[in-house]
Amino acid sequence: MITSEAVNRAIDYILEHLEEDLSLEKVAMHCHFSKYYFSRLFKAQTGESVYGFIKRVRLEQSAFRLKTEKERLITDIGADYGYSSSNYSSAFQLRYHMAPVSFRRQSYGLSMEHPFFRHENWHMETFEECHGKVRMGYVPDFRVVYERRFGSYEGLYAQWNRFTEKYGEYFTENALFLERTYNDPAVTENANCLCDLCMTVGEDCPLENTTIIQGGKCAVYRFKGHAKHIYAAYQTLFLVWLPRTAYRLDQSRSLFDIYRVVDGNTLCMELDICLPVK
């Protein structure tokens, strides 16, 4: 878990400005620290340097967009993150051990391994099956208390138990539990997956670790099933549903889930997967 709110602000800033010229100096200045002190703080909290984090996340975001924006030229996607054509191919090859064109082709295959349940058989829905579970609408903003964590989505249920116990005194009958996600596990290693565990709170919540999850226009997919099938639902949305619609992901907003029903014994649940679109 990332306990420094300054580091959390830095991560938010980096994610919001990935397609711009970023540097340690800019990030440290945004957080009102010297670059030398902030460099040590960021590395201690995340295990990565600021530069290493920026470079990794840019490549991961570009890989995600190779999947979800298959009509765009690969060179244009690389250029969005500051790469020339040759430099992008080399950097991508070093990170994913394959060329961008091969990665894009492989992403649309049906033989991808589940990143958590290694021996689990999974499949994507058809467009018609998925489309029947999606509704378009405007989702409100949510004021939440949150904790940000790096690591695999395995074991997340135990993390949620600790979270709800810790913030139980701020729970109300109208409170919602949300999970804000920043990575596609198909392109980000388990240890580097980043997510926020969140609970809605009122304006009078005195805690420092509160933030606003931005709503707006979203494609809302109602998931019902075991937790291990959420991955397949996301991949269906990314690879089957989005390419067949006129919508595109709004990169300025985060994806998030709203938990509706959770059975702690069976890990079966109902939740709304909210994709910000434009």
Number of folded domains that form the chain:
2
Q: Give whichever of 127-141, 154-168, 227-241 has the largest mean pLDDT.
A: 127-141
CATH number at residue 266: 3.20.80.10
Residues 160 and 246 reside in one and the same domain: yes
Residues 96 and 167 reside in one and the same domain: no
Residues 137 and 265 reside in one and the same domain: yes
Residues 96 and 148 reside in one and the same domain: no
- Give domain status of residue 125, yes or no: no
Residues 27 and 159 reside in one and the same domain: no
- Give domain status of residue 47, yes or no: yes
Mean pLDDT value across residues 81-95? 94
User: Which pLDDT belongs to residue 155?
Assistant: 78
The model's pLDDT over 8-51, given as tens digits with 9 standing for 90+, comes to: 999 999 999 999 999 999 999 999 999 999 999 999 999 999 99
Residues 102 and 144 reside in one and the same domain: no
User: Which pLDDT belongs to residue 186?
Assistant: 87
Domain that holds residue 62: 5-107
Q: Does residue 221 or residue 68 have the better pLDDT? A: 221
Distances (CA, A) of 87 to 18, 26, 59, 75, 84: 17, 24, 12, 10, 5
Residue 224: pLDDT band (50, 70, 90) is very high
